[in-house]
Homo-oligomer: A and B are copies of this chain.
Amino acid sequence: MKKLLCIAVAAGLGLSMSAHADRLVTELIKPIEPAVISAPEKVELGKKLWFDPRLSMSGFISCNSCHNLAMGGSDNLPTSIGHNWQEGPINSPTVLNSSLFVAQFWDGRAANLQEQAGGPIANPMEMASSHLLAIDVINSIPQYREEFAKVYGSEDITIDNITDAIAVFEETLVTPNSRFDQWLKGDDKAITEQELASTLR
């Protein structure tokens, strides 16, 4: 894409490729980098919460139900199935690389993953719980109390801590080193000629 935009910018400005355009483009589109994990215990706690259907009213739906890590981070359905088999109006976006989105939800109403994570828990069409109930449920599980105390310095579990842990886990869900990333980094042979042609179209 760097190369692609270089060409586009250069063409648009009527210039040959320049160091300036190169730098400009580098700032626009970057290869995806591996996750840097600075708080492994928080990531593990977030991972537990991610897969835990007890965050839903039914005890049947987890974050992973609609953003399935076994299927590219989404549910592969036109619109998602929620509490009581309600088929809402929303197509689940993938969670993979979502930490790199400029905003969250299709309309961008959440600024970041932590803010987003609180949404589905309390949405009556989705997990159909409430923040109060979710906190009570998680608080009722001694192992969670221990882990929250270790990670956040307090056994007093809050929705902010729950969504923070989930968001920090989600930040690890990146897909570095795809062939496209390799191409961005300078390996001209990493994508096929057909793919290059599609990219340039």
Inter-subunit contact A48/B70 (CB<8 Å): yes
- With A70-B48, A84-B85, A85-B84 in contact, do A76 and B58 touch (Cβ < 8 Å)? no
Asked if B71 and A65 make an inter-chain contact with CB atoms under 8 angstroms apart, the answer reads no
- Shortest A88–chain B CB gap in Å is 13
Q: Specify which chain B residues have a CB less than 8 angstroms from the CB of A53 in the assembled complex.
A: 68, 71, 75-76
Residue among A60, A68, A76 facing the most chain B CB atoms (10 A cut-off): A60
Q: How far is the CB of A183 from chain B (nearest CB, A)?
A: 22
* A51 within 8 Å of B (CB atoms): yes
A168 CB to closest chain B CB, in angstroms? 18
CB-CB contacts below 8 Å: A47-67 with B = 48, 51-54, 58-60, 62, 65
Q: Across the interface, which residues of B come within 8 angstroms of A75, CB to CB?
A: 53, 59-60
How far apart are the CA atoms of A71 and B50 in the complex, in Å? 12
A2 CB, min distance to chain B CBs, angstroms: 30
Is A77 on the interface with B (CB-CB < 8 A)?
yes
- Please classify how large the interface on chain A is, using the bins under 10, 10 to 19, 20 to 34, 35 or more: 10 to 19
CA distance A52 to B77 in the complex (A): 13
Q: Which residues of B contact A21 (CB under 8 A)?
A: none
Q: Chain A 79-90 against B: per-residue CB contact (8 Å), 1 yes, 0 no?
A: 001001100000
Q: What separation, in Å, do the CA atoms of A18 and B52 have in the docked complex?
A: 48
Interface centre among A54, A70, A71, A77 (most CB of B within 10 A): A70
Which 6 residue pairs spanning A and B have beta carbons closest together?
Answer: A85-B85, A51-B70, A60-B81, A84-B85, A59-B77, A52-B70
Q: Write 6 A-B pairs (CB below 8 A) sorted by A numbering.
A: A52-B70, A54-B76, A58-B77, A60-B77, A60-B81, A62-B70
Known: A53-B68, A53-B75, A62-B70; 18 extra A-B contacts, CB below 8 A, are A48-B70, A51-B68, A51-B70, A52-B70, A52-B71, A53-B71, A54-B71, A54-B76, A58-B77, A58-B81, A59-B75, A59-B76, A59-B77, A60-B65, A60-B75, A60-B77, A60-B81, A84-B85
